[in-house]
Amino acid sequence: MIDASAWQTIDFISDLHLQVAEPATAKAWFDYMASPEQQADAIFILGDWFEVWVGDDDEDPFVALCAAVMRQRAKGVKGGKPCELFIMHGNRDFLMGADLAERSSATLLADPTRLDFNGTSYLLTHGDALCSNDVSYMRFRELVRAPEWQAEFLAKPLEERKNIARQIRAQSQAQHGAVTHYADINEALALEWLNTHGCDVMIHGHTHQAATHPLGHGQRHVLSDWDASASPKRLEVLRLTTMGLQRLAL
């Protein structure tokens, strides 16, 4: 559980899918992180920060740049206040480890994580584990989240891991065709999670279907994905203050 009582402003983002091939989206994130107007006390990236992650030993210059942007934001930009940074595994970057978190001055969160702020308890999750109706994905998730599979994969040479990741991505795109379909979560399971953790509100990403829904006695807030090349652009932050939650388009 995270006690956020000392904070005044908290930002939630997810599904940035940062990659060299999408420079406009990467720049939008760089600008957000470096903006003196964006003075949140904490920023939570709830999964799929990167389009793919094949291990913390990846020393690609783009990865190094992203980590440097995080470190600078943690210290405070242009004389601004420091910011606490948190990252959570997504379905694309589930191999992020402690080394990346340290290089990025961030805390790697468990999924789900409870956050208490201003008298309300929020359950934070990427959301993919709640898509129980997507049977094929849940089977894949169970496979790749197993410690044995991860240890075997990470033992392979870096370039081999990158090739495997490209092949898996190509297969996924071929299956979905020109339009990617994102399965929605199982609301009954989401409500079970909310009650188990004693929370009032759930915040998650993954489905790329930004919206707010009722969930039991509380609410479920779905984060937007980021795509600076879309029309209109999808570059949204969910901001939490003592006044409540607000969606901000950058």
pLDDT in tens, 192-204: 999 999 999 999 9
pLDDT of residue 161: 94
Q: Indicate which CATH number applies to the domain containing 105.
A: 3.60.21.10
Exposed e or buried b per residue across 147-177, where buried means at least 16 C-beta atoms within 10 angstroms of its C-beta: eeebeebeeeeeeebbeebeeeeeeeeeeee
Question: Could you give the number of structural domains in the chain?
Answer: 1
> Which residue range is the domain that position 181 belongs to?
2-249
pLDDT of residue 207: 93
pLDDT of residue 24: 97
Output the average pLDDT for the chain: 92
Q: Which residue has the higher pLDDT, 183 or 6?
A: 6
pLDDT of residue 77: 84
CA distance 112 to 46: 10
CA distance 38 to 218: 28
Q: If pLDDT is split at 50, 70 and 90, which confidence band does 122 have? A: very high
- Average pLDDT (141-148) is 94
